[in-house]
Amino acid sequence: MTPGMRSASPVTDRQVRFAHLLRHGVLSGAVAGLSAALVLWLVVEPVVRRALAVEEARDQHGHAHEELVSRGQQILGGLLTASVVGVLFGVVFAVVFARTRHRLPGRSEQGRALVLAAMGFAVVVLLPAVTVPANPPAVGDPATVARRTLLYVLTILVGLLVVGLLLEVDRRLGERVRRPAVRRTLVVLLAAAAVVVVLAAMPAPDPIPADVPADLVWDFRLASLAQLAVMWGVLGLGFGLLVDRETSAPREPVPG
Protein backbone atom coordinates (compact mmCIF):
# COMPACT_ATOMS: atom_id res chain seq x y z
CA MET A 1 0.00 0.00 0.00
CA THR A 2 1.39 3.39 -0.95
CA PRO A 3 1.85 6.19 1.59
CA GLY A 4 -0.95 8.16 -0.07
CA MET A 5 -3.35 5.26 0.41
CA ARG A 6 -2.39 4.96 4.08
CA SER A 7 -3.07 8.63 4.78
CA ALA A 8 -6.49 8.43 3.14
CA SER A 9 -7.59 5.32 5.06
CA PRO A 10 -8.30 6.93 8.48
CA VAL A 11 -10.43 9.66 6.87
CA THR A 12 -12.47 7.09 4.97
CA ASP A 13 -12.90 5.01 8.15
CA ARG A 14 -14.17 8.03 10.10
CA GLN A 15 -16.63 8.87 7.34
CA VAL A 16 -17.97 5.32 7.24
CA ARG A 17 -18.42 5.19 11.01
CA PHE A 18 -20.24 8.53 11.00
CA ALA A 19 -22.45 7.29 8.18
CA HIS A 20 -23.26 4.25 10.33
CA LEU A 21 -24.22 6.54 13.22
CA LEU A 22 -26.53 8.49 10.92
CA ARG A 23 -28.11 5.27 9.74
CA HIS A 24 -28.63 4.17 13.33
CA GLY A 25 -30.12 7.57 14.12
CA VAL A 26 -32.61 7.36 11.25
CA LEU A 27 -33.66 3.82 12.14
CA SER A 28 -34.00 4.40 15.88
CA GLY A 29 -35.68 7.76 15.22
CA ALA A 30 -38.24 6.11 12.96
CA VAL A 31 -39.09 3.56 15.66
CA ALA A 32 -39.22 6.33 18.28
CA GLY A 33 -41.51 8.41 16.07
CA LEU A 34 -43.87 5.49 15.51
CA SER A 35 -43.90 4.80 19.25
CA ALA A 36 -44.73 8.45 19.95
CA ALA A 37 -47.50 8.32 17.34
CA LEU A 38 -48.95 5.26 19.08
CA VAL A 39 -48.97 7.07 22.43
CA LEU A 40 -50.52 10.08 20.72
CA TRP A 41 -53.33 7.91 19.41
CA LEU A 42 -53.97 5.92 22.59
CA VAL A 43 -53.21 8.44 25.37
CA VAL A 44 -53.21 12.03 24.10
CA GLU A 45 -56.11 11.90 21.67
CA PRO A 46 -58.77 10.93 24.27
CA VAL A 47 -57.79 13.95 26.38
CA VAL A 48 -57.92 16.21 23.32
CA ARG A 49 -61.46 15.02 22.64
CA ARG A 50 -62.45 15.99 26.18
CA ALA A 51 -60.98 19.45 25.61
CA LEU A 52 -62.84 19.81 22.31
CA ALA A 53 -66.08 18.98 24.12
CA VAL A 54 -65.42 21.92 26.45
CA GLU A 55 -64.95 24.21 23.46
CA GLU A 56 -68.20 23.02 21.94
CA ALA A 57 -70.03 23.64 25.20
CA ARG A 58 -68.93 27.29 25.13
CA ASP A 59 -71.00 27.90 22.00
CA GLN A 60 -74.30 28.56 23.71
CA HIS A 61 -75.89 30.18 20.65
CA GLY A 62 -75.33 27.25 18.32
CA HIS A 63 -72.92 29.06 15.99
CA ALA A 64 -70.68 26.16 15.04
CA HIS A 65 -67.30 27.00 13.56
CA GLU A 66 -66.70 25.56 10.14
CA GLU A 67 -63.78 23.14 10.23
CA LEU A 68 -61.24 23.69 7.48
CA VAL A 69 -59.71 20.30 8.31
CA SER A 70 -61.73 17.40 9.67
CA ARG A 71 -60.82 15.82 12.99
CA GLY A 72 -59.81 12.63 11.25
CA GLN A 73 -57.41 14.55 9.02
CA GLN A 74 -56.01 16.34 12.06
CA ILE A 75 -55.36 13.01 13.80
CA LEU A 76 -53.71 11.54 10.71
CA GLY A 77 -51.58 14.66 10.33
CA GLY A 78 -50.54 14.45 13.98
CA LEU A 79 -49.52 10.81 13.63
CA LEU A 80 -47.49 11.51 10.49
CA THR A 81 -45.89 14.54 12.12
CA ALA A 82 -44.87 12.50 15.16
CA SER A 83 -43.25 9.90 12.90
CA VAL A 84 -41.36 12.49 10.84
CA VAL A 85 -40.24 14.38 13.95
CA GLY A 86 -38.86 11.12 15.33
CA VAL A 87 -36.68 10.62 12.26
CA LEU A 88 -35.45 14.23 12.37
CA PHE A 89 -34.60 13.95 16.04
CA GLY A 90 -32.82 10.69 15.29
CA VAL A 91 -30.56 12.42 12.76
CA VAL A 92 -29.80 15.28 15.16
CA PHE A 93 -29.22 12.77 17.94
CA ALA A 94 -26.68 10.88 15.84
CA VAL A 95 -24.80 14.07 14.97
CA VAL A 96 -24.67 15.25 18.59
CA PHE A 97 -23.65 11.79 19.78
CA ALA A 98 -20.80 11.68 17.27
CA ARG A 99 -19.53 15.06 18.48
CA THR A 100 -19.92 14.47 22.24
CA ARG A 101 -19.60 10.71 22.78
CA HIS A 102 -16.10 11.07 24.24
CA ARG A 103 -17.43 13.48 26.89
CA LEU A 104 -20.61 11.62 27.84
CA PRO A 105 -20.53 9.55 31.04
CA GLY A 106 -21.16 5.84 30.71
CA ARG A 107 -19.28 2.56 30.43
CA SER A 108 -20.85 1.52 27.12
CA GLU A 109 -22.19 3.14 23.98
CA GLN A 110 -25.73 2.35 25.10
CA GLY A 111 -25.09 4.00 28.45
CA ARG A 112 -23.80 7.13 26.72
CA ALA A 113 -26.77 7.13 24.36
CA LEU A 114 -29.19 6.90 27.29
CA VAL A 115 -27.42 9.77 29.04
CA LEU A 116 -27.69 11.88 25.89
CA ALA A 117 -31.37 10.97 25.53
CA ALA A 118 -32.01 11.96 29.15
CA MET A 119 -30.26 15.28 28.58
CA GLY A 120 -32.26 15.88 25.40
CA PHE A 121 -35.52 15.10 27.18
CA ALA A 122 -34.62 17.44 30.04
CA VAL A 123 -33.66 20.33 27.77
CA VAL A 124 -36.15 19.99 24.91
CA VAL A 125 -39.16 18.66 26.85
CA LEU A 126 -39.00 18.89 30.64
CA LEU A 127 -37.62 22.40 31.08
CA PRO A 128 -40.02 24.00 28.54
CA ALA A 129 -42.89 21.99 30.08
CA VAL A 130 -42.24 23.74 33.38
CA THR A 131 -41.77 27.24 31.98
CA VAL A 132 -44.32 27.08 29.12
CA PRO A 133 -46.63 24.16 30.01
CA ALA A 134 -48.61 22.50 27.25
CA ASN A 135 -52.33 23.28 27.18
CA PRO A 136 -55.26 21.45 25.60
CA PRO A 137 -57.28 23.14 22.83
CA ALA A 138 -59.72 24.72 25.29
CA VAL A 139 -56.93 26.59 27.09
CA GLY A 140 -54.75 29.41 25.89
CA ASP A 141 -55.26 32.84 24.41
CA PRO A 142 -54.59 32.91 20.64
CA ALA A 143 -53.15 36.40 21.07
CA THR A 144 -50.30 35.00 23.17
CA VAL A 145 -49.23 32.28 20.75
CA ALA A 146 -46.26 34.27 19.45
CA ARG A 147 -45.09 35.12 22.96
CA ARG A 148 -45.41 31.52 24.16
CA THR A 149 -43.56 30.23 21.10
CA LEU A 150 -40.74 32.69 21.71
CA LEU A 151 -40.52 31.64 25.36
CA TYR A 152 -40.46 27.99 24.33
CA VAL A 153 -37.56 28.50 21.91
CA LEU A 154 -35.72 30.74 24.38
CA THR A 155 -36.07 28.11 27.11
CA ILE A 156 -34.55 25.43 24.87
CA LEU A 157 -31.65 27.70 23.90
CA VAL A 158 -30.96 28.55 27.53
CA GLY A 159 -31.15 24.86 28.42
CA LEU A 160 -28.62 23.98 25.72
CA LEU A 161 -26.33 26.71 27.00
CA VAL A 162 -26.61 25.39 30.55
CA VAL A 163 -25.83 21.83 29.40
CA GLY A 164 -22.77 23.06 27.53
CA LEU A 165 -21.55 24.96 30.59
CA LEU A 166 -22.15 21.94 32.83
CA LEU A 167 -20.13 19.68 30.53
CA GLU A 168 -17.29 22.19 30.53
CA VAL A 169 -17.43 22.54 34.31
CA ASP A 170 -17.43 18.75 34.67
CA ARG A 171 -14.36 18.53 32.43
CA ARG A 172 -12.49 21.17 34.41
CA LEU A 173 -13.46 19.63 37.73
CA GLY A 174 -12.23 16.27 36.44
CA GLU A 175 -8.77 17.81 36.16
CA ARG A 176 -8.82 19.13 39.75
CA VAL A 177 -11.17 16.91 41.77
CA ARG A 178 -10.06 13.30 42.04
CA ARG A 179 -13.17 11.90 43.69
CA PRO A 180 -15.92 11.33 41.06
CA ALA A 181 -18.70 11.47 43.68
CA VAL A 182 -17.67 14.97 44.74
CA ARG A 183 -17.44 16.12 41.14
CA ARG A 184 -20.90 14.77 40.26
CA THR A 185 -22.40 16.36 43.39
CA LEU A 186 -21.01 19.76 42.48
CA VAL A 187 -22.30 19.46 38.90
CA VAL A 188 -25.78 18.43 40.10
CA LEU A 189 -25.93 21.34 42.55
CA LEU A 190 -24.86 23.74 39.81
CA ALA A 191 -27.49 22.31 37.46
CA ALA A 192 -30.20 22.72 40.12
CA ALA A 193 -29.17 26.33 40.72
CA ALA A 194 -29.26 27.05 36.98
CA VAL A 195 -32.77 25.56 36.67
CA VAL A 196 -34.00 27.67 39.59
CA VAL A 197 -32.64 30.82 37.95
CA VAL A 198 -34.29 29.97 34.62
CA LEU A 199 -37.65 29.27 36.25
CA ALA A 200 -37.50 32.48 38.28
CA ALA A 201 -36.75 34.53 35.17
CA MET A 202 -39.66 33.17 33.13
CA PRO A 203 -43.07 34.91 33.23
CA ALA A 204 -46.14 33.19 34.63
CA PRO A 205 -48.08 30.94 32.21
CA ASP A 206 -51.50 31.86 30.85
CA PRO A 207 -54.36 31.49 33.36
CA ILE A 208 -56.68 28.51 33.06
CA PRO A 209 -60.29 29.44 32.09
CA ALA A 210 -62.89 28.77 34.75
CA ASP A 211 -64.87 26.37 32.57
CA VAL A 212 -61.90 24.04 32.03
CA PRO A 213 -61.54 21.33 34.71
CA ALA A 214 -58.14 21.23 36.36
CA ASP A 215 -57.88 17.48 35.89
CA LEU A 216 -58.32 17.95 32.13
CA VAL A 217 -55.36 20.32 31.99
CA TRP A 218 -53.12 18.05 34.05
CA ASP A 219 -54.19 14.95 32.13
CA PHE A 220 -53.23 16.65 28.88
CA ARG A 221 -49.88 17.82 30.21
CA LEU A 222 -49.03 14.41 31.61
CA ALA A 223 -50.14 12.70 28.39
CA SER A 224 -47.99 15.08 26.34
CA LEU A 225 -45.00 14.41 28.59
CA ALA A 226 -45.62 10.65 28.31
CA GLN A 227 -45.63 10.85 24.52
CA LEU A 228 -42.33 12.72 24.37
CA ALA A 229 -40.78 10.60 27.12
CA VAL A 230 -41.54 7.47 25.09
CA MET A 231 -40.01 9.04 21.99
CA TRP A 232 -36.76 10.02 23.75
CA GLY A 233 -36.58 6.74 25.66
CA VAL A 234 -37.04 4.59 22.57
CA LEU A 235 -34.58 6.79 20.67
CA GLY A 236 -31.88 6.41 23.32
CA LEU A 237 -32.45 2.69 23.80
CA GLY A 238 -32.64 1.87 20.10
CA PHE A 239 -29.67 3.99 19.11
CA GLY A 240 -27.58 2.62 21.96
CA LEU A 241 -28.42 -0.98 21.06
CA LEU A 242 -27.49 -0.45 17.41
CA VAL A 243 -24.19 1.25 18.23
CA ASP A 244 -23.34 -1.33 20.88
CA ARG A 245 -24.03 -4.16 18.47
CA GLU A 246 -21.77 -2.61 15.85
CA THR A 247 -18.89 -1.82 18.21
CA SER A 248 -19.02 -5.28 19.82
CA ALA A 249 -19.06 -7.12 16.48
CA PRO A 250 -15.66 -8.53 15.41
CA ARG A 251 -14.01 -6.53 12.66
CA GLU A 252 -12.09 -7.93 9.75
CA PRO A 253 -8.39 -7.03 9.80
CA VAL A 254 -7.41 -4.28 7.41
CA PRO A 255 -4.62 -5.44 5.03
CA GLY A 256 -1.43 -3.47 5.46
Short-list 34, 132, 131, CA closest to 86: 34
In a domain, 155, yes or no: yes
Residues 96 and 148 grouped into a single domain: no
Mean pLDDT of 104-120: 88
pLDDT in tens, 11-39: 334 444 888 889 999 999 999 999 999 99
Is pTM, for the whole model, over 0.85? no
- Is 112 found in the same domain as 67? yes
- In a shared domain, residues 45 and 111: yes
The DSSP annotation for the chain comes to: --HHHHHHHHHHHHHHHHHHHHHHHHHHHHHHHHHHHHHIIIIIHHHHHHHHHHHHHH-TT--PPPPSS-HHHHHHHHHHHHHHHHHHHHHHHHHHHHHHGGGS--SSHHHHHHHHHHHHHIIIIIHHHHHS----TTSS-GGGHHHHHHHHHHHHHHHHHHHHHHHHHHHHHHHH---HHHHHHHHHHHHHHHHHHHHHHSPPPPPPPTTS-HHHHHHHHHHHHHHHHHHHHHHHHHHHHHHHHHHHSPPPPPP-
Verify that 177 and 92 share a domain, yes or no: no
- C-alpha to C-alpha distance for 193 and 196, rounded to whole angstroms: 5
Share of the chain above pLDDT 70, in %: 82
Q: Which domain holds residue 149?
A: 141-205
Same domain, yes or no, for 113 and 25?
A: yes
Residue 65 in any domain: the answer is yes
pLDDT digits (tens, 9 = 90+) for 51-86: 888 877 776 555 455 566 666 777 888 889 888 999
Assess whether 47 and 152 both reside in one domain: no
Domains in the chain, number = 2
* Same structural domain, 44 and 69: yes
Q: Is residue 2 part of a domain?
A: no
> Are 244 and 151 in the same domain?
no
How far CA 99 is from CA of 86, 95, 104, 235, in Å, comes to 20, 6, 10, 17
Same domain, 86 and 165: no
Question: Within this chain, do residues 47 and 160 fall inside the same structural domain, yes or no?
Answer: no
